[in-house]
Amino acid sequence: MSIKGSPYARFKRALDLGKLPLVYAAAAELPQLNLDDGLRVLVLMAEQDRARFDRAAVRWVARLGLERRLGIADLRAALAACELLCAHPEEGRAVLARLMRH
């Protein structure tokens, strides 16, 4: 481990800074992101990288459905909440966080 910390610590610092290029670089060093961290990245992408956001949102929702065994109605709500992230990030994130606890 370097003096700057573990790859996950660097990733968390990048997330806290909210600098998406740093987040991408730090995430590339990790084997996988958990759903919570993935949601934080998705929120940043909605704000800073709309070109890549749609595909990332679909992948994140698919993973949410598989890991939490959600049905179609919940997945539809998750996709709608992802669309909401772009205009109203706090509301969209709240819906997605609620679905993650489901």
- Per-residue pLDDT, 18: 96
> For each of the chain's 102 residues, which pLDDT tens digit applies?
454 689 999 999 999 999 999 999 999 999 999 999 999 999 999 999 999 999 999 999 999 999 999 999 999 999 999 999 999 999 999 999 999 998
- Per-residue pLDDT, 102: 81
SS3 of 5, please? strand
**Entry pTM:** 0.90
Domain boundaries, the chain: 1-32, 34-101
Listed as own residue / partner, the contacts of 16-23 with beta carbons closer than 8 Å and 24 or more positions apart are 18/44, 20/44, 20/45, 20/48, 20/49
Sign for the pseudo-dihedral over CA of 70, 26, 86, 50:
negative
Q: Which residue, 12, 60, 55, is CA-closest to 38?
A: 60
Q: From CA 3, how far away is CA 90, in angstroms rounded?
A: 35
